[in-house]
């Protein structure tokens, strides 16, 4: 497809979308704009974008497609600015925010006519890295990419899918209300819960320092998402307040129910509680990407001797296997410790698992 694409916000998501579009539509011209000058310079140097937009107005007025990849509360201000520009007739605008109700409402108010089309977008993939330097064209591969059209924009859904086909995502068209409810259940509430668990541990750790020491293993794993950007999550929960309040009430009822059966000493009910959770979790898709970034971890038993970790990383590097993080979970002098290696893709983890086993390492998932 030919045309000018304007990416507003050159972080991980915006940069990855630019690369995916360039890969599929080499004839398109990608313009980029970001309030951070360093991100613009990096994007141009890495050829993530073709042209630097000197201003939001300049790039927007040249664009056939505008993709807004910014924090959710900033999106509203960007839409208001765009409404004051001389945009091309039939320009197509979309965003990447994780809440849709407020942005869709504002877009419908700003452009009640069909000269400008806004379709909400939410690519449900991400990474534990940030910034345009970490952008990858395959970031959204096999991820769900949710689109929320208004009644006036529904006929241009296929056009937007064509522009985004290089993402190799699974497109899902949802009503705005359904999107915010679903993401509230599987993403926003879990982030609140993870933060709550960490805050509770911090409170108890002030009385007993052993808590911080012992929380270094599994507790860190189950609360990883609590390390998300605080300002970003403040904005997200504010935007999805109505759904979250209802979900929090439901969650507190769930905990009250468990407290009741535990207090009664109802062993069958307690077992059933965990069994139902296990069965449902085990039935969830393994290889699909969801609202929360997946962690592809491999655990390797290692001896505490010089060069052990270097030997493992050298083996992986020689086979072109990329890893995203290394973490020593346990390390006591002279004894076996556990090295956790994190990968971006499941296939990289599988390849590493076979390679390390071949070289005599004890590995586990």
Question: Secondary structure of the chain in the HEC alphabet?
Answer: CCCEEEEECCCHHHHHHHHHHHHHCCCCEEEEECCCHHHHHHHHHCCCCCEECCCHHHHHHHCCEEEECCCHHHHHHHHHHHHCCCCCCCEEEEECCCCCHHHHHHHHHHCCCCCEEEEEEEECCCCCCCCHHHCCCCCCCCCEEEEEECCCCHHHHHHHHHHCHHHCCEEEECCHHHHHHHHHHHHHHHHHHHHHHHHHHHHHHCCCCHHHHHCCCHHHHHCHHHHCCHHHHHHHHHHCHHHHHHHHHHHHHHHHHHHHHHHHCCHHHHHHHHHHHHHHHHHCCCCCCCCCCCCEEEEEEEECCCCHHHHHHHHHHHCCCCCCEEEEEECCCCCEEEEEEEECCHHHHHHHHHHHHHCCCCEEC
Query: Does residue 225 carry a pLDDT above 90?
Result: no
Structure tokens at 64: 């056939």
pLDDT score recorded for residue 255: 97
Rounded to an integer, what distance in angstroms lies between the CA atom of residue 295 and that of residue 343?
7
pLDDT value for 338: 78
Instruction: Check if CATH label 3.50.50.60 holds for domain 296-364.
Output: no
* CA atoms of 351 and 316, how far apart (whole Å): 9
pLDDT at position 297 is 82
How far apart CA 31 and CA 48 sit, in angstroms, is 9
Which residue is associated with the tokens 């945009």?
87
CB-based burial of residue 352 (10 Å sphere; 0-12 exposed, 13-18 middle, 19+ buried)? buried
Q: Report yes or no: 125 and 289 within 8 Å, Cβ to Cβ.
A: yes
Quick one: average pLDDT of 85-100? Answer: 95
Q: Where in the chain is the domain with CATH 3.30.2130.10?
A: 296-364
Q: Which of 182, 142, 145, 172 is nearest to 285 (CA)?
A: 142
In which residue ranges of the chain is CATH 1.10.3660.10 found? 179-283
Q: What pLDDT sits at residue 334? A: 44
User: Which position has the token pair 């690519």?
Assistant: 123
What does the pLDDT read at residue 228? 85
Q: 179-283 has which fold? A: 6-phosphogluconate dehydrogenase C-terminal fold (1.10.3660)
Query: Among 165, 75, 65, 177, which Cα is nearest to 117's?
Result: 65
Query: Are the beta carbons of 252 and 189 closer than 8 angstroms?
Result: no
Round to whole Å and give the CA distance between 13 and 239: 20
pLDDT at 333: 44
Q: What percent of the chain has pLDDT over 70?
A: 93
pLDDT at position 365 = 75
pLDDT tens figures, 182-191? 999 999 999 9
User: Could you tell me where in the chain the CATH 3.40.50.720 domains are found?
Assistant: 4-174
* Residue 239 tokens, joined: 């935007």
Average pLDDT, the chain: 89
More confident residue, 114 or 319: 319
Examine the pLDDT at 336 and tell me if it is beyond 70: no
**CATH pick for 4-174 out of 3.40.50.720, 3.40.190.10, 3.30.70.20, 2.40.30.10:** 3.40.50.720
pLDDT of residue 229 exceeding 90, the answer is: no
């Amino acid at each position: 497809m030919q045309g000018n694409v304007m990416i507003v916000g050159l972080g991980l998501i915006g940069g990855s979308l630019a690369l995916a579009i360039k890969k599929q539509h080499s004839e398109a011209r990608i313009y980029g704009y970001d309030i951070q000058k360093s991100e613009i310079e990096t994007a141009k140097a890495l050829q993530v974008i073709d042209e630097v937009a000197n201003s939001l107005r300049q790039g927007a007025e040249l664009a056939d497609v505008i993709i807004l990849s910014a924090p959710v509360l900033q999106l509203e201000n960007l839409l208001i600015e765009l409404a004051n520009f001389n945009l091309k007739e039939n320009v197509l605008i979309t965003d990447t925010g994780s809440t849709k109700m407020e942005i869709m409402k504002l877009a419908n108010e700003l452009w009640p006519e069909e000269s400008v089309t806004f379709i909400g977008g939410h690519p449900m993939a991400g990474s534990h890295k940030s910034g345009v330097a970490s952008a990858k064209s395959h970031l959204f591969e096999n991820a769900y990419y949710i689109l929320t059209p208004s009644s006036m924009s529904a006929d241009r859904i296929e056009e937007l899918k064509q522009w985004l086909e290089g993402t190799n995502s699974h497109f899902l068209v949802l009503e705005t209300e359904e999107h915010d409810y679903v993401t509230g259940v599987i993403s926003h509430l879990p982030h609140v819960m993870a933060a709550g668990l960490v805050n509770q541990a911090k409170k108890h750790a002030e009385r007993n320092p052993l808590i911080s020491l012992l929380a270094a293993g599994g507790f860190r794993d189950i609360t990883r998402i609590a390390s998300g950007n605080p300002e970003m999550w403040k904005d997200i929960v504010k935007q999805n307040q109505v759904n979250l309040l209802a979900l929090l009430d439901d969650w507190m009822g769930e905990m009250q129910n468990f407290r009741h059966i535990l207090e009664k000493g109802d062993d069958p009910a307690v077992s059933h509680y965990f069994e139902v959770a296990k069965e449902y979790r085990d039935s969830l898709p393994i290889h699909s990407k969801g609202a929360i970034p997946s962690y592809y971890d491999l655990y390797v038993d290692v001896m505490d001797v010089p060069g052990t970790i270097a030997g493992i990383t050298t083996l992986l590097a020689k086979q072109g296997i990329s890893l995203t993080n290394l973490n020593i979970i346990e390390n006591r002098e002279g004894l076996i410790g556990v090295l956790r290696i994190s990968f971006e893709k499941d296939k990289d983890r599988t390849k590493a698992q076979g390679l390390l086993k071949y070289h005599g390492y004890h590995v586990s998932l």
